[in-house]
Amino acid sequence: MHAYATDTTSADLTLDVEALRSEFPALHQEVHGKPLIYLDNAATTQKPQCVIDTLVHYYTHDNSNVHRGVHALSERATTAYESVRDCIASYLNAEDRRGVVFTRGATEALNLVASSYVEPRLQEGDEILITTMEHHSNIVPWQILCERTGAQLIVAPISELGELDLPQTLELIGPKTRFVSVNHVSNSLGTINPVKEIVEAAHARGVRVMLDGAQAVPHGVVDLKALDCDFYVFSGHKVYAPTGIGALVGKMEALEELRPYQAGGDMIRRVTFEETTYNDLPYRLEAGTPHIAGTIGLGAALDFMLRVGPEAIAAHEATLLDHAHNLACDTKDLTIVGQASHKAAVFSFALDGIHPHDIGTILDTEGLAVRAGHHCTMPVMQQFGLPATTRASFGLYNTIAEVDALFVGIHKVRDIFG
């Protein structure tokens, strides 16, 4: 199951990119005297005016805490805040709006499941399965649990193309496997993983699965009922929403087994000094005053993406990625890092003899914002024998002309370094 819809024969997949760009004020500026070309969308996306206006409206008119007040501002804020659960459940085709748990982002959601669901079920010798291409946020929490419990972290390998070895991955799901957590789309390689097959194999052994969808949700259609995973996480700031907001979306049966992660605020129903009764889902997993404005902004961002069309976004970004790959074939000394047959809009590359930080610095002088580094995937860099890569990642507002400009910049880097 890919991140995108694959049957688009009856859909209009044409984007009016120039019209869309007009909705993003941050794109219309100069950097070092050059027009900004923003190609760092895998790190964070720019925000459309409708999201910015939503934040301003909340703070200007509805600023109040949610769930606690009977006055008009609190009721308006609560209505707007809670409507985002319905928005997310609909956008991802989730089982139940009550299965949408607001978090600070994918990282907190991953840690929530690790601490609240997996750790209480681990014993010495048990196994947790991940893959080589995981973000550090889907590696380190499991290492911590293994240190505490004596469990083992099992890592599925990837090929030289950056593709998951699916047969070997499925073989690693064995009698000692207690949990599987894999990314839907790799942030450093762009690989779209065969997650549906992994979910099916794990479920056949009675093992629950969590998918890291931080890089999948921005780039196309995600259907949780079709994927059938137990937990799915994503971050708002990668889907044109504010920072500091995201969600854990899970099956109700699985979420009911999570113990409270933090205490205080809406996670309680009744408190005495003798005992506390916890609230129902999802509230018992949401302690304290939430990021109200960010949550409402996330709803506005998903509404914006629905207006644009997830299938159209996927088709447009695929065109940009194909163009980058074609230009790369004609560029001397350039190696594409991550050449999976199914990819999202991530173009990572290396230039022979030139450090990615130097590449990024020179491209910045040309107004090109790319990412240079290990992208929080150090094991991937080790797999390819690289200290880092340069990553250009595309969004719905990027253009073919911007991809061309990227390669003009790459040629300038090569000229400078001889």
For 38-74, how does the pLDDT look when each residue is reduced to its tens digit (9 = 90+)? 999 999 999 999 999 999 999 999 999 999 889 999 9
Q: Is residue 169's pLDDT more than 80? A: yes
Query: Does some domain include residue 331?
Result: yes
Residue of 87, 146, 329, 376 marked catalytic? 376
Residues 28, 55 within the same domain: no
Residues 291, 314 within the same domain: no
Total residues found in the chain within this entry: 418
Residues 233, 333 within the same domain: no
- 376 included as an active-site residue: yes
Q: In degrees to the nearest 10, what's the CA dihedral of 264, 270, 273, 275? A: -100
Name the average pLDDT for the chain: 95
Residues 353, 364 within the same domain: yes
Read off the pLDDT of each residue in 205-212 and give the average, rounded to a whole number. Answer: 98
Residues 217, 285 within the same domain: yes
Amino acid residing at 55 = L
199 closest CA partner among 170, 172, 158: 170
- The residues near 46 (Cβ < 8 Å, ≥ 6 apart) are 24, 26, 27, 38, 240, 395, 397
Residues 100, 234 within the same domain: yes
| Domain encompassing residue 203 | 51-306
d(CA 89, CA 79): 16
Q: Which two tokens stand for residue 119?
A: 């750790």
Question: What does the buried/exposed string (b/e) look like for 45-59 if buried means 16 or more CB atoms within 10 Å of the residue's CB?
Answer: bbbbeebbebbeebe
Cα 141–146–150 angle (5° rounding)?
165
Query: Does some domain include residue 1?
Result: no
Q: Assess contact for 31 and 369: CB atoms under 8 A.
A: yes
Residues 380, 315 within the same domain: yes
What is the band of 266 on the pLDDT scale with cuts at 50, 70, 90?
Answer: confident
The pLDDT tens digits for 325-341 are: 999 999 999 999 999 99
DSSP state at residue 299: H
Q: Which two tokens stand for residue 84?
A: 């985002």
d(CA 34, CA 364): 9
pLDDT confidence of residue 12: 61
Query: Domain tally for the chain?
Result: 2
Read off the pLDDT of each residue in 356-382 and give the average, rounded to a whole number. Answer: 97
The residue assigned the tokens 């230039």 is 351
CATH of the domain at 382: 3.90.1150.10
What is the band of 108 on the pLDDT scale with cuts at 50, 70, 90?
Answer: very high
Q: Which two tokens stand for residue 383?
A: 């797999």
Q: Using the 3D structure, point to which of 284, 306, 328 is the last residue of a domain.
A: 306
Q: Assess contact for 358 and 330: CB atoms under 8 A.
A: no
Q: Using the 3D structure, point to which of 306, 341, 361 is the last residue of a domain.
A: 306
Residues 34, 82 within the same domain: no
Q: Using the 3D structure, point to which of 257, 283, 306 is the last residue of a domain.
A: 306
The residue assigned the tokens 């978090």 is 103
Residues 216, 278 within the same domain: yes
pTM of the model: 0.95
pLDDT confidence of residue 265: 85
pLDDT confidence of residue 14: 84
Read off the pLDDT of each residue in 367-373 and give the average, rounded to a whole number. Answer: 97
3-state class (DSSP) for residue 61: helix
Residues 378, 247 within the same domain: no
- Report the percent of the chain where pLDDT is more than 90: 94
Q: Is the peptide bond before 282 cis (omega within 30 degrees of 0)?
A: yes
Query: Does some domain include residue 81?
Result: yes
